[in-house]
Amino acid sequence: MTVAETTMAAATAAAKVPEHFTMTEDEIIAKFPTRLRGFDLYRKMGSPKNIVAPMVDQSELAWRMLSRNYGADLCYTPMFNAKVFTNEQKYRDEQWQTNETDRPVIVQFCANDPDILLKAASLVAGQADAVDLNLGCPQHIARRGHYGSFLMDEWELVSKLIRKLHENLEIPVTAKIRVFPEIEKTVEYAKMVEAAGAQIITVHGRLREQKGHKTGLADWTKIKAVKDAVNVPVFANGNILYQEDIQRCIDATNVEGVMTAETNLYNPALFSGKILPTWQLAEEYLEICNDVPTKPAYIRAHLFKLFRYSLPIHTDLRQKLAEVRDMDGFWQFIRDMKARLIADAEGSDFDPEVVVVDEFGYRKYPHWICQPALRFEHDKEHSKSKRLLNEAQADTPADAADCTTGSCDAVDNEAKRQKTCVESV
């Protein structure tokens, strides 16, 4: 055992061991002698720093492949419903795709039944580096389904879910959590998750209530407190808009890696630091989709995001995108949009080497450049695009429609620069 593992085992032994812990750490190690733990798992995955978050219907294989082309070190799958994944072959075939290039990869599940979670996790054990438990989704569908962040107040159930995998699954279990208002409670929660067997903990630095127009800033001080308190690798999630924010987050929190969700959707080249035109990323994504079968609803959602700032200008193309149903249609849309955007770019004096910011410190990019999405309450044009997207995806399963497209891990979109948060921690 490593020093960290010995420390964790000793701490667990010193505390009152929960009744649902049926095995000691030594017994678990004997049962799975080659299963990686904590920092050994982290190093085996290449010590990932740049991490693509689990996003329902939006971190599918094709998007993971695109993100890896631009510096993603580790990708999570979309969040899968463990019960449906276990019981429905069609759902499993549609949702779980991977190939030889898709590593390292962590498969995320939402669940509230330890036995069902283990059954689902066992189905992917031979093709993934770890299985992650979603304890962070704040959406209404999670409340109705009794999973995600709505398990935050049920510590015994959370511990049972993690422990079930830790004692029975051949690959490691990890967990993604949100923070409590109190820093002390957040730390104790994370320590409980670690004691149950989570080998990596991702901390989304926002409260369960911080979602949608109430997103606000993620609290990096709470993430740092968790990092200081546990003996397993920690990933931070929240407040990432630009590439340099990743190192700022690491410097402020001492975490091993930084996860991003919504910013990756609008700028999949984020980790590379490259300033690229939206049509280039769209073309590269569709090229991947030519080889990797991808549901049209997923493709359409990605294109709405990539062209988020251009669709309010070229409104006729927005309607066409909402109506597209096949690859030929998506390619024609991109050709039409590319021609428009190249013409817009040729009439511009934009210089990617010159950094220009607005009064809040946000970088000013022309609409044809990949950039983070900044939510403002009166962004009416984007609201119209979102309505068209929702109408076009009316046949999308409810659990996908309600908790998707990065909404579980929304980027900060207050009318203040993220730098303010960085300087205050």
Question: Residue 353, exposed/middle/buried by CB under 10 A (0-12, 13-18, 19+)?
Answer: exposed
Residue of 137, 249, 289, 403 with catalytic role: 137
Q: Are 69 and 287 in contact (CB under 8 A)?
A: no
Query: How far is CA 268 from its chain centroid?
Result: 12
For 308, other C-beta atoms within 10 Å of its C-beta total 23
Gap between the Cα atoms of 199 and 393, Å rounded: 37
Active site residue 137: yes
389 CB-contact burial (10 Å; exposed 0-12 / middle 13-18 / buried 19+): buried
| CB-based contact 124:162 (threshold 8 Å) | no
Residue 35 to residues 80, 172, 173, 255, 282, Cα–Cα distance (Å): 23, 7, 10, 23, 39
Nearest residue to 376 via CA among 339, 415, 338: 415
CB-CB contact of 410 with 311 (8 Å): no
Which residues are known to be catalytic?
A: 137
